[in-house]
Amino acid sequence: MPDHEAEYRIGNGFDSHCLVEGRKLILGGVTIPFEKGLEGHSDADALLHAVCDAILGALAMGDIGRHFPDTDEKWKGCDSAVFMRESMRLAAERGYCVSNVDATILAQRPKMAPYIDVMRERIAALLGVLPGCVGLKAKTMEGMGFVGRGEGIAIMAVVMMKRNSAMKSSPI
């Protein structure tokens, strides 16, 4: 069976952005009250970026930097939901949809617990899956490294893509 017809394909994504003053903190499509926000060309939603990279990675389609370059003025200040929808469209073109996602937020501050479920619901809505298909955890780095010093936030994500037999696929 050619690889592009595999029933399941797995992808991983990683992203990190600096925390700076004068920016909103947006993660998983949710604005989180904090004195700093993530720096970036778009809205700098590192969680959605890591999930997009995992989707694209599962289908060997590169990363969001390739599809949505930060040198393009078109993406300046862009809502990262746009990247997510486009990544899903590219996956659907190849006959795949998301089965489930699991992601970890690495952040020393702020406390993410109050926002985890609303982020899961937002990501699930963007991916067209139930919230039960979106796992999301948050950890501090016990004060170590750039995350521990509060200089930035990092995200790790894994996505399982499943073949949608109702969709017509094209070779990857």
Comparison of 49 and 94: residue with beta carbon closer to Mg ion: 49
| Nearest distance, CB of residue 83 and Mg ion, angstroms | 9
Site for Mg ion in 42-101 (CB under 5 A): 49
Transcribe the chain into DSSP letters: --GGG-SEEEEEEEEEEEEETTS-EEETTEEE--S-EE--SS---HHHHHHHHHHHHHTT---HHHHS-TT-GGGTT--THHHHHHHHHHHHHTTEEEEEEEEEEE-SSS--GGGHHHHHHHHHHHHTS-GGGEEEEEE--TT-HHHHTTSEEEEEEEEEEEE-TTS-----
Comparison of 83 and 95: residue with beta carbon closer to Mg ion: 83
| Nearest distance, CB of residue 7 and Mg ion, angstroms | 30
Site for Mg ion in 11-50 (CB under 5 A): 15, 49
Comparison of 51 and 161: residue with beta carbon closer to Mg ion: 51
Comparison of 36 and 49: residue with beta carbon closer to Mg ion: 49
Point out which residues bind Mg ion (CB under 5 A): 15, 49
